[in-house]
A and B are shown apart, each in its own frame.
Chain A
Amino acid sequence: MRIYNLYARTGQTFYMCGIIGLFAKSDAVMQHLGRHMADMLAQMGERGPDSAGIAIYNDPLAGSEANKLTLQHDEPDRLTEVTRLASAQFPECDIAVHGSHCVIAARASTEELQVWAQTHCADVRIMSVGERIQIFKEKGHPADFAARYQLQQFQGSHALAHTRMATESAITTSHSHPFSTGRDLCLVHNGSLSNHNRLREQLQKNGIRFQTDNDSEVAAGYLTWRLQCGDTLQQALNAAIRDLDGFYTFAIGTRNGFAVLRDPIACKPAVLAETADWVAMSSEFRAIAQLPGAENARVWEPEPGRIYTWEGDNTSGMAA
């Protein structure tokens, strides 16, 4: 007698979403990181036409205690007001407006930046905070997102992006990926978690705050909590394999690189590729095929339940 749900075991689940990540190992790829990401993102539009988002890591401001704060508000006038307030608060700060987001780069600690935002503009969303990270995300088709945010203009050492096909919660900018998981950290997720409600309650008791009812945000909050407890990223991800129940391919952006993890059942797709100039991950090879030299790249599929990381100083080569 066989009463299996064949589809649950074949991996042919109907939850889509697309993930891409790119880590530059050469100056040429760093200079054109945004253009490469836009090309890859366009290939993942069919996997996630509801919303798109990107985390781009690039140079910090010179000097100590310099950090970036990315804020989002749907009303352009309010965003302009926020940039004016920031200019008054943080002398010599750099402010750039991209779509409904603004990036404030200032010589202030991440705590100072967050406290300022929460105190003076509590109605805006904090998308990310850190030395090198900036996160932009928006509901709508990924191709429109790439055009609106002029992704091709960005340089950087590495980036992660996501295209969302919503399955378990609303289509809004807040429900879109990447989710910030702490200073210079973010998470993108393809899959669905089944124990996110219980886990969210437990994390809230431990002081983790959530903006939405989204399952992926719980995974992000979980990693934030583990890292706050003192775990390394590797330890936090090992704990995630134990505590998160569901289907997932995660890509986690860090200050100097990114990590990739698939659940032990590995229903959700993932492809990794590497050349002398870059390391890339994607839900499908067709995104990687857009990169220079992809035809000669080493291509492989990450194993279930194994953590892959790339980190390093991009100007001096990669340390695996």
Chain B
Amino acid sequence: MITFDLGSTPVRELNQHLHSAVTDPVHVANPGGRHAIAVGATDAHTVTVDGNVGYYCAGMNAEATVKINGHAGPGLAENMMSGTVHVTGNASQYCAATARGGLVIIDGDASSRCGISMKGVDIVVKGNVGHMSAFMAQKGALVVCGDAGDALGDSIYEATLFVAGSVASLGTDCEEKAMDDEALALLQRLLQQSGATTSAADFKRYGSARKLYHFNVDNASSY
């Protein structure tokens, strides 16, 4: 176990360690809402952060497992490539934006724009998500055990969205889809991996209506 006390050690030292191949478990104390904690890990590190983190925690993560015992600020796990990021509290805006792979687990709520432009990541939010979540989502899955805010999946290309609670409104070109066997298996796997207790039977599935793929003058007002 290697401990980085961010009350006395610069964040850069932590991140430089995570760019090395030394994968002993890492404990991060006194994060104090600092930015860019545990960014750019390139190997199978195991990082535990005790406290709240600021902007861009675990960005570009590859292979590492990062657990935050607290809340996360904007841009959590942005552009994550693989690995797992788990927040026991809430996550702020644009969590897992543009992320290409791996699994993000939020035990609390995620605020607006969760999974914006997601490109292959799987996200499980055990609470609610805010407005414009999965905006322009391209690939991957977003599982919301609570409610979703306005304009869910606006301008979605491809990605699979599951919501157990209410959806305030669907965005342009997002529609409810049938829960087929393949989708159900994906949902059950993600619920199991994330430790979520909501029953798969409670979820509805949403995805792209694919009407924005090609220009149609009749839709001009939607663009």
Tell whether, in the assembled complex, residue B136 and residue A2 are in contact, meaning their CB atoms are under 8 Å apart. yes
Tell me the A1-53 residues at the B interface (CB within 8 Å).
1-4, 6, 9-12
CB-defined contacts of A269 to chain B, threshold 8 Å: 73-74, 92-93
Does B79 sit at the interface, judged by CB under 8 A? no
Chain A interface mostly: loop
Pick the contact of A2: B74, B132, B212 (CB < 8 A). B212
Tell whether, in the assembled complex, residue A266 and residue B112 are in contact, meaning their CB atoms are under 8 Å apart. yes
Tell whether, in the assembled complex, residue B94 and residue A289 are in contact, meaning their CB atoms are under 8 Å apart. no
Tell whether, in the assembled complex, residue A301 and residue B113 are in contact, meaning their CB atoms are under 8 Å apart. no
How far, in angstroms, from A12 to B71 measured CA to CA in the complex? 20
Shortest Cβ distance from B158 into chain A, in angstroms? 13
Tell whether, in the assembled complex, residue A301 and residue B223 are in contact, meaning their CB atoms are under 8 Å apart. no
Tell whether, in the assembled complex, residue A4 and residue B54 are in contact, meaning their CB atoms are under 8 Å apart. no
Tell whether, in the assembled complex, residue A299 and residue B71 are in contact, meaning their CB atoms are under 8 Å apart. yes
Pick the contact of A9: B89, B135, B223 (CB < 8 A). B135
Does A295 sit at the interface, judged by CB under 8 A? yes
Tell whether, in the assembled complex, residue A4 and residue B136 are in contact, meaning their CB atoms are under 8 Å apart. yes
- Interface magnitude class on chain B: 20 to 34
Pick the contact of A299: B54, B89, B214 (CB < 8 A). B89
How far, in angstroms, from A254 to B135 measured CA to CA in the complex? 38
Look across to chain A and name the residue whose beta carbon is closest to the beta carbon of B157. A2
How far, in angstroms, from A266 to B132 measured CA to CA in the complex? 11
CB-defined contacts of A300 to chain B, threshold 8 Å: 90
Contacts A9-B116, A11-B112 given; 12 further ones with Cβ under 8 A?
Answer: A1-B223, A6-B136, A10-B97, A10-B117, A269-B73, A269-B74, A284-B33, A285-B71, A299-B52, A299-B90, A300-B90, A304-B130
* Residues of B bordering A, CB below 8 Å: 32-35, 51-52, 54-55, 71, 73-74, 89-90, 92-94, 97, 111-113, 116-117, 130-132, 135-136, 155, 212, 214-215, 223
* Residues of A bordering B, CB below 8 Å: 1-4, 6, 9-12, 266, 269, 271, 284-289, 295, 299-301, 303-304
26 intermolecular pairs with C-beta atoms under 8 Å apart: A1-B214, A1-B223, A2-B136, A2-B223, A3-B223, A9-B113, A10-B117, A11-B94, A11-B112, A12-B94, A266-B112, A266-B131, A269-B92, A271-B92, A284-B33, A284-B55, A285-B73, A286-B33, A286-B35, A287-B33, A289-B32, A299-B71, A299-B89, A299-B90, A301-B92, A304-B131
